[in-house]
Chains A and B, each alone.
Chain A
Amino acid sequence: MSAAPARLPAILVVEPQFVLRRTVVALARKLELAEVDEATGTGTALALLKRKAFDALVLDLEDVEASFGLLRQLRDGEFPSRRDIAVCLTAAQPLGLPLQDRAAALGATACLPKPYRISQLLDAIGLQAG
């Protein structure tokens, strides 16, 4: 009797930049680190979060209020995902103190200003890329 194969973590990547998003997604799949869904913005992300449980979320802050709103809903347990999953926020600029405080209050695991290395991102959501 053989053991069932371990389930890969399910990750949602919300990132508007095409090359960055596609590279993160393709890399995670190629290295068999995660099952990855992708969204270009919070609208699509919301729909995905409502219908599927994820183990980690990468959330760009292009639309700050919509992104923090999504994170609030996640932490309030409004989605099938566990409310305490790892969430890595990404942003085009380093976050100022007020936004850092909001991110911390909502339990963001990490905040990465762009440009960041994809290996940093994978580390931030607990994926060991080797």
Chain B
Amino acid sequence: MIPAPIPPDDAARLRQLRDLQLLDTPPEERFDRVVRFAAEQLDMPIALVSLVDEKRQWFKARFGLDATETPRDISFCGHAIATPGLFVIEDARQDPRFADNPLVTGAPHVRFYAGAPLSTPSGHRVGTLCIIDTQPRTLGRVELATLDVLRDLVNEALNGADGEAS
């Protein structure tokens, strides 16, 4: 297993994350509705809004997963925030970075992962909107674009720009 890398801007990134004042806060519908929708539209058993903290990833919104956080070093999202684009692992068991990851070899038995990095206005990637399956998957053009536009909705919510409650 290759541990999630620590980006060069991590100190500034963590300051931005903490300034959002979202860590360890109660669930909120503006995030919950997006993960429910992502799981439904993309036919995934698990969808999450994950915030990558110094030593852990903490889930601001969860669909299909009981855990509220996992260690950062084994997190897929810790890898996903290393680059701005979508981070897709079609079959974790076939990927040397993840094949022996405890999240793959044990619960929740991740096989497929796709994460869309979430950014603050200053550009620091603080977490992801991610979808997970216990089976290998390949996403098509529409599905990838769907994840991308849902990420934009979460970014708006993250940065206080969503103005609608319905």
Contact = CB atoms under 8 A, between A and B. Distances in A.
B150 A119 contact: no
Contact of B148 (A22, A30, A129): A30
A38 to B, nearest CB: 11
Contact of B141 (A16, A18, A19, A31): A31
B33 to A, nearest CB: 5
Interface string B123-166: 00000000000000000111001101110110000000000111
Nearest to B40: A115
A119 B141 CA distance: 11
A130 B142 contact: yes
B68 interface: no
A23 B142 contact: no
Interface residues of A, number: 19
B164 A18 contact: yes
Interface residues of B, number: 18
Contacts of A129: 141-142
Contacts of B40: 115
A30 B149 contact: yes
B142 A19 contact: no
Nearest to A17: B166
B153 A22 contact: yes
A18 B157 CA distance: 12
A118 B164 CA distance: 21
A85 B111 CA distance: 44
A130 B141 contact: yes
B145 A19 contact: no
Interface string A12-32: 000011111011001100110
B41 A16 contact: no
Interface in B1-53: 33-34, 37, 40-41
A23 B150 contact: yes
A110 to B, nearest CB: 17
A88 B101 CA distance: 45
Contacts of B33: 18-19
A26 B149 contact: yes
A7 interface: no
A23 B148 CA distance: 10
Interface of B: 33-34, 37, 40-41, 140-142, 145-146, 148-150, 152-153, 164-166
23 contacts: A16-B166, A17-B166, A18-B33, A18-B165, A18-B166, A19-B34, A19-B37, A19-B150, A22-B153, A23-B41, A23-B146, A23-B149, A23-B150, A23-B153, A26-B152, A27-B142, A27-B145, A30-B145, A115-B40, A118-B142, A119-B142, A130-B140, A130-B141
A-B pairs, top 9 by smallest CB distance, nearest first, are A26-B149, A18-B164, A129-B142, A19-B37, A18-B166, A119-B142, A115-B40, A30-B145, A19-B33
